[in-house]
Amino acid sequence: MIQKIDALLAEIEQLKANSSEDLDALRIKYLSKKGEISSLMNDFREVAAEQKREIGQKLNILKTQAQEKINTLKELLENRNTPDEAMDLTRTSYPYHLGTRHPLSIVRKEICDIFARLGFSIAEGPEIEDDWHVFSSLNFAPDHPARDMQDTFFVMHGADILLRTHTSSVQTRVMEKTQPPIRIICPGRVYRNEAISYRAHCFFHQVEALYINQNVSFADLKQVLLFFAKEMFGPETNIRLRPSFFPFTEPSAEMDISCNLCGGKGCPFCKHTGWVEILGCGMVDPNVLENCGIDSNVYSGYALGMGIERITNLKYQVKDLRLFSENDVRFLRQFEYAT
């Protein structure tokens, strides 16, 4: 009899139930009046007196474990059949993907974070501007090509209301209302009347930086540019400055970085020069300071500006500017884990 009890204990330990019907069948088989345990209880009457104590204890253990096993299986079935309180039963069954940040937003934030570590704060301004803040205050000549309708979108030509062509207009607004020291970056969207292609668009995004204080030199500008290049493209990045011309800076320069694909050795991406242009910069022209009410005999400063699309192209090797505005989810999902 002891062997039968041990066999039933092992059998009960392995019991499983996939439905309430299965559970009820198990309960009847083991715990009902005609079940396996009741049958053993009936046989217990014929057990020798010296074995009653031992076998009686084993029968009690068997009955207790059978009852506990049935209760456990019942609880598991109830939990499985009860919907999770946190589950939204109205939600569609289609596997919709979570959205991600746009690559331009990722790069813009990274640029702003780098300059924030240098003490720059963010300044913003309107996209619909006037001629003074976009051109005249920035030392553009009256006959400069940028003032022509084939280069600039004019909203009201007679009133000289236009879509800003650069975020330098934000700098002039800050300089008009704030006395130095000024240390700002100006991210935003700009517009130019250009044919849309893989390398140009009628709207794009810029980040410009401005620092004005006493005794600001070109050496200060160079150190900021070197810091930015190494933080954005890696510690092995080198820079070079080439003389250039911009109406609002003097002297002016364009900055190149060593190609991040070939390490400066030369490849098709950098046209085998080892260098890639990323931004323009220079010392703020004294006329611009005077136009904005800042004494150029006391203060000096530097400015720099870059296209966010250009930096994104270099960082992620995106070769077609149109991809940034076509909202192709196959393209955007490539940046799901970008930081």
Judged on CB neighbours under 10 Å (0-12, 13-18, 19+), 113 is: exposed
pLDDT per residue of the chain (339 residues) written in tens, 0 to 9: 777 777 878 888 888 888 888 888 888 887 887 788 788 777 777 777 777 778 778 778 878 888 888 888 888 877 775 555 566 777 766 666 677 788 899 999 999 999 999 999 999 999 999 888 998 899 887 777 766 656 788 887 666 888 999 999 999 999 999 999 999 999 999 998 888 888 788 889 999 999 999 999 999 999 999 999 999 988 988 999 999 999 999 999 999 998 877 777 777 777 888 898 999 999 999 999 999 999 999 999 999 999 999 898 888 888 788 888 888 888 888 887 665
CATH 3.30.930.10 residue ranges in the chain?
103-335
Q: Are 29 and 35 in contact (CB under 8 A)?
A: yes
Q: Which two tokens stand for residue 151?
A: 């280069």
* Cis peptide, bond prior to residue 145, ω within 30 of zero: no
Q: Are 168 and 301 in contact (CB under 8 A)?
A: no
Which pLDDT score, from 0 to 100, does residue 225 have? 95
Which pLDDT score, from 0 to 100, does residue 25 have? 85
The strand pairing partners of 256, in sequence order, are 240, 277
Question: Considering Cα of 290, then 295, then 297, then 300, what sign does the dihedral take?
Answer: negative
CB atoms closer than 10 angstroms to residue 133: 20
Q: Which residue has the tokens 């991809």?
A: 323
CATH 1.10.287.470 fits 103-335, yes or no: no
Which pLDDT score, from 0 to 100, does residue 158 have? 65
Q: Are 127 and 153 in contact (CB under 8 A)?
A: no
**d(Cα 212, Cα 183) in Å, to the nearest integer?**
7
Helix H or strand E segment including 332: helix 329-332
Helices and strands (H, E) in the chain, number of each type: 11, 10
The strand pairing partners of 207, in sequence order, are 187, 306
